[in-house]
Structure 1
């Protein structure tokens, strides 16, 4: 079952069900697929970005990363069961990967963040097989030789799970353009998760995460980088949801 928020179809599944679905598919070693984790920023991009829409249409699983999406679903009378936060999903999937002997590859993040995350996660979950990490250079997506190198690294490592931390929509574009070639069962874009897990960037206290104020903590922590996303983006998202409630926004 899916929930329509501003024309974007989101899978109505709990955090535990998302983990179970992803791990089960990774264990089956079927054709490569990918997961997207929309937040309010994604919803805004999807209103006018046809390429991003195509990425979403082909996704294996679409799970609500942001608390505002859960609030919006309740306001619209189509309640999502809860948030499937990307960083929490990353950590939990690595925990399950260790139990099931699945191999993991970390791509992207700020320099040092992927390796730092690997160290933290392997300390927490002995036996976790992080087969490789790689931080590509800036603007690598325009360099065909660099893309070929990355793809070869991933294919050689044969991971079951690929976590891509390049920011949206860059990470989703890269996954969409390359997931069939790299042949990883499940690829997931996870934004700044490597920085959070490695401790490079502090994450909001748990009470702020649960109350939907993690965005405010991030804004205060990195105002120059994030002010447009939150100060301008959040009200725009709220307006789109209100228009959908009134029936004047196209709904799939």
Structure 2
């Protein structure tokens, strides 16, 4: 069940501050939850929360992140405070349908980047790009600003490897974010590194939205080619990525991913029959 929306509160000068939107309905996928939203609804939720003067945290579970949520208690506890969880993977959509509690559509973080930038122009919101390989964030800034006239990307930063263990590097990140004061930060560091950083930053900037987007900035720049639309629609984007980076992704997709996907789908069918919501 979503939370009950708060009532608007009068602000200084008699101006009414909009109430933040209610939390969207949660859907259980093999023991982990995601929100039942479309892409448009997710973007609108972020925008309306900002209008209310509040920030938040987006996590985009795909099959790999779902595995972490159901098999790694420390990771599950880390992201439990997240504000919005978007089903970024067709296996999650299939599982929800098989369990009898269907999600409306896949809401991929890679697509969210474009949609949130478009809405940011409309609402005059500022964006910061954090992460990616060296030079990717700055290149993505150019691509996005050329596509969306009036888009305000107020800063970019690609922290070096091991930055999270270096106090000086962590200070650089927080200092630049305080200086630029963005409404939205797109954090492209991969899971779980980006989630660990967001957990730190969100307390320092409670009025900012932090979106964990993985490799998405490299998709924006074209440094990494995204799978064709038909491939994404039928749930084969993982195969496309595997062909691009077989050494790095073979274990994740072949050893962990495929067996876990089969377990998820089988469990979803049996859970529908039993009415169970336990984790496989």
**Aligned with residue 167 of structure 1, among 165, 190, 195:** 190
Q: Which piece of structure 1 moves more, 126-135 or 230-239?
A: 230-239
Counterpart residue number, 2:218 = 195
Shift of 1:133: 0.3
Distance 1:47 1:18 in 2: 24
Counterpart residue number, 1:243 = 267
Counterpart residue number, 2:81 = 58
Report if the CA contact (8 A) 2:30-2:278 is conserved. yes
Distance 1:69 1:87 in 2: 16
Report if the CA contact (8 A) 2:37-2:103 is conserved. yes
Distance 1:135 1:88 in 2: 21
Q: 1:211 to 1:237 in 2, by over 3 A?
A: closer
Is 1:214 matched with 2:242? no
Report if the CA contact (8 A) 1:52-1:173 is conserved. no
Counterpart residue number, 2:126 = 103
Distance 2:83 2:195 in 1: 13
Is 1:182 matched with 2:205? yes
Shift of 1:234: 2.6
TM-score (norm 2): 0.85
**Runs of 4+ displaced beyond 4 Å:** none
Residue 47 of structure 1 aligns to a residue whose secondary structure is helix
Structure 1 residues without counterparts, runs of 5 or longer: none
Bigger-Rg structure (1/2): 2
Distance 1:19 1:54 in 2: 25
Report if the CA contact (8 A) 1:104-1:130 is conserved. yes
Is 1:18 matched with 2:42? yes
Structure 2 residues without counterparts, runs of 5 or longer: 1-24
RMSD: 1.5
Q: How does 1:125-164 map to 2 (within 5 A)?
A: 125-164=148-187
Distance 2:110 2:68 in 1: 21
Number of aligned positions between the proteins: 250
Q: Cα deviation per residue 1:82-119 (whole Å; 9 max; x = unaligned)? A: 10010100111011101111000000011111111111
